[in-house]
Structure 1
Amino acid sequence: MTTEWIPEREVTAEQATHLIGARFHDLRGAPVRLLATGWDNTVFLVGEEWAFRFPRRQIAVPGVEREIATLPLLAPRLPLPIPEPRYIGEPSADFPWPFWGARLIPGHEFAAVRPPDEHRTAIATETGAFLRTLHDPALARAVGFTLPFDPMRRADTPSRAAKTSTRLATLARLGLWQPDPTVDAFLAMARDQPPPAGDPVVVHGDLHARHLLLAPDGRAAGVIDWGDVCLADPAVDLSLAYAAFTGAARKAFLTEYGPVPPARETAARTLALNLTATLAEYAAETARPSLLAESLTSLHRAVTD
């Protein structure tokens, strides 16, 4: 397995039970079960009500600290639910990193549901409205003062285009991707484009098909996993408009969100390709067929209208 998603520490349900019960007496004895894993965090459901996030790698710890500091400021200002840390676990001898718990946001990952394209319009409208609010410059002035500026350089169009070509070559070697002239031509163009210009805003930072939750009725239920929250160009989040939606759904997203200048659109499409190629490789190596299928389809969506 690729080393970038092998955990440095993987908390078990038994360990989580001990860590949570030792710090939060009102949760002692509550049932604890694994809810989800990513390459940076492991999430447990506690008492069928609370979602606890434990970092799996040292590199994720600054993101956990940003979540703890920033999400309580963002939550009341946004039109969709996001996690709001209620229980904060400090580093200790039995676990060296911070962790936290928030009330569970009920829903299923967009990538697990995989609604048909023709059923995505309402989701796109709600997501466009959510990002319009998140990207409001007034919000950046109110809560963004402690956030770093695009630490992963995700709005750097030439750099992301080059990284994406490398990812796609890996997918091709794995037999998961047939080179697509349209994708290759887009990436060649993007490598010569400057990053978008404009004032930075608060961004989720890693907004993809695992981090948008859907309710049973198929509507947007919430946005999770804010470990990459930062200040950056809006293109960093607008990648979702090009990875998850096409046709009427994308039009609905952009109608709700507002105009996207050409350089920002290029950056967003480039990042959509980069994130979905990465997710496809991760999904293949960790046996996540729904995520793999959604990611491979998203590679084509990202360069079509």
Structure 2
Amino acid sequence: MTRGRRRRPVRFVGVTTPPEGPPVPEWEPEHEVTAEAAAALIGDRFPGLAGAPVEALAIGWDNTVFLVGGEWAFRFPRRRIAVPGVEREIAVLPAIAPSLPLPIPVPRFTAGPSGDFPWPFWGARIIPGRELAEVRPADEDRTALAEQVGAFLRALHAPALAARAGRGLPHDPMKRADPAVRAERTFPRLDSLVRLGVWERGTAVTDLLADARHRDAPDGEPVIVHGDLHVRHLLLGPDGRAAGVIDWGDVCLADPAVDLSIAYAGFAGTARAALLAAYGPVPPEREAAARVLALNISATLAEWAASTGRGVLLAEALAGMSRAVAG
């Protein structure tokens, strides 16, 4: 953290808190930082960036991201639940980045809570690229990308990396490797998609979830996992190949099934086969858990996209649901 001159009080300028009232969607922010507030906070904590242009880059459930000076991506939590993940990113990403074959963000600027902003935030050099969910290449054009993802996950899930850099990480705090838990949490998402008029119930989805209710989580050794690896967190370059993996707020120790869910939500046919060939053997119980999580994440993204007018993401998320239950 940069030290030096006395900080001027920002006092949450441009930081809005939703008013009290009826229940709001779970993705609504508790604190939302504007570009103006981000510029003040960043310039105050890091004088070398004072006056640099700040523009909105991306918004998720848990964080708002700003591009600073055309070079740095700064992440500000939107909800208190995201704070432990921000702290884990700051601690873990520098330790694992050198071992991975794709770029990931490495915090360069870190700031703790203050009277100006109640939670930590950090900045890293921007990883150029577009979300897989935004590019939406045809399934048959995803094979080279899939091979890269498989190799990336093989490196990330290496037991030696967990032994070296995984100390202190929680063990699957969201129970994403547990098919029974994920199945129960998927049904309300599906109900919402039906109410929103963007999805019709099908037996393939129902059968997958019914089977999952009777399955235990895989019992392999836990490894370091991204924790929320989906089509928004895989960046593509202009050539359609992988440019990097972002948004590590759910990094933890867990069964590899947690990350292998992207094989079933983001890829199909020969592309999926290429990913799994690059990754290595996946036993049936791990595949089953990965498919259920793929369905759960895709349904969650679809609900958010349909509720917030993100048409391109909705199309990709619904396609991900179909892939998850396909052979």
Report the TM-score when normalising by structure 1.
0.99
Which one of 100, 113, 137 corresponds to residue 115 of structure 1?
Answer: 137
**Which residue in 2 is equivalent to 1:217?**
239
CA distance in 2, matches of 1:119, 1:213: 15
Q: 1:174 deviation in Å?
A: 1.2
The equivalent residue for 1:23 is 45
Call closer, same or farther: CA 1:183–1:2 in 2, change over 3 Å.
Answer: farther
For residues 187 and 26 of structure 2, the distance between their equivalents in structure 1, rounded to whole angstroms, comes to 18
What is the match of residue 233 of structure 1? 255
Corresponding residue to 2:62 among 26, 40, 43: 40
Aligned to 2:105: 83
Look up the match of 1:138. Answer: 160
Q: Distance in 2 between matches of 1:29 and 1:47?
A: 9
> What is aligned with 1:150?
172
Q: Deviations over 1:131-172 (max 9, x none)?
A: 000000111000000100000010111111121122111111
Counterpart position of 1:265: 287
How has the CA–CA distance of structure 1 residues 208 and 2 changed in structure 2, closer, same or farther, with 3 Å as cutoff?
A: farther
Q: CA deviation at 1:2?
A: 4.9
Report the AA paired with residue 170 of structure 2: P
1:85-125 deviation line (CA, Å, top 9, x unaligned): 00001111010100000000000011000000010000100
Q: Distance in 1 between matches of 2:111 and 2:53?
A: 18
- Deviation sequence 1:258-292 (CA, Å, 0-9, x none): 01000100000000000000000001111111110
**Which residue of the partner structure matches residue 194 of structure 2?**
172
Within a 5 Å distance, the mapping from 1:176-215 to structure 2 comes to 176-215=198-237
The amino acid of 2:275's aligned partner reads: F
C-alpha distance in structure 2 between counterparts of 1:16 and 1:182, whole Å: 46
Residue deviations 1:218-264, cap 9 Å, x none?
A: 00000000000000000000000000000000000000000100010
Aligned to 2:304: 282
Give RMSD over aligned pairs: 0.8
Look up the match of 1:299.
Answer: 321
Q: Secondary structure at the match of 1:62?
A: helix
CA distance in 2 between partners of 1:283 and 1:8 (Å): 20
Q: Which runs of 5+ in 2 are unaligned?
A: 1-22
CA distance in 2, matches of 1:223, 1:2: 30
Paired with 1:269 and 1:164, the residues of 2 have a C-alpha distance of: 12
Question: Which amino acid in 1 is paired with 2:247?
Answer: D
Q: Quick check: 177-186 or 264-273, which moved more?
A: 177-186
- Is the counterpart of residue 92 in structure 1 residue 117 in structure 2? no
Match of 1:128 in 2: 150
Which residue matches 1:8? 30
TM-score by length of 2: 0.92
Shift, 1:3, TM fit:
2.1
Which amino acid in 2 is paired with 1:7? P
Count of matched residue pairs: 305
CA distance in 2, matches of 1:164, 1:95: 34
Task: Determine the C-alpha separation between the residues in 2 that align with 1:77 and 1:192.
Answer: 37
Mean CA deviation greater in 99-108 or 175-184? 175-184
